[in-house]
Amino acid sequence: MAALTLKFHLAATEGKPVELWGSGKPRREFLFAEDLARVVLWAVDHYDDPETDISIAELAGVVAEAIGFEGDVRWDTTRPDGTPSRRTPAAKLKKRFDMEFMGIGAGVERAVEDFRENFPNVRG
C-alpha cells in the first residue's frame, strides 16, 4: 500500500498516469497496526469468517481516490501478478475476539493522511 500511495501521490502532483505491474487481480487482506494493537491489549486483559480481502486493482482505486488522483492507470500485464491471494488472520481475529476492524477505506484515508504529513521524508 505504501508503494501505491507514493505512486499515486507523485502522479497526482505531476499530472502523469500511473503504471502498475500485472493485472491487479491478486487479492490481499490488510490488518492495520492500530487494530492489531487493540487485539493485543484485549488479549492481555482477557487472556472461521467473512472475506475481507480486496484485489490490488480495488486497492489501487481506493488509494487513487484518497490521494485525489484522476488520471489513467495502466496495468502492465507483461509483468507478474505475484501470489494470487495473501491473507492475514484479521477475519479469524475478528471472529475470535468479537471486534470490529477498520475498513479499507478508513485505513487508506488514515495512511494517506500520514503520508501527506510526512512527505517528502518518506522513502520512495
> What fold is seen in the domain 2-118?
UDP-galactose 4-epimerase; domain 1 (3.90.25)
- First-to-last alpha carbon distance for the chain, in angstroms, is 12
pTM: 0.53
pLDDT attached to residue 49:
46
pLDDT attached to residue 76:
95
Asked if 66 and 37 count as a contact pair (C-beta separation under 8 A), the reply is no
* Beta-strand runs (E) in the chain: 18-21, 27-28, 54-55, 73-76, 85-86
Q: Where are the chain's structural domains?
A: 2-118
Low-confidence stretches of the chain (pLDDT beneath 70): 44-52, 88-92, 123-124
pLDDT attached to residue 21:
94
pLDDT attached to residue 48:
39
pLDDT attached to residue 85:
82
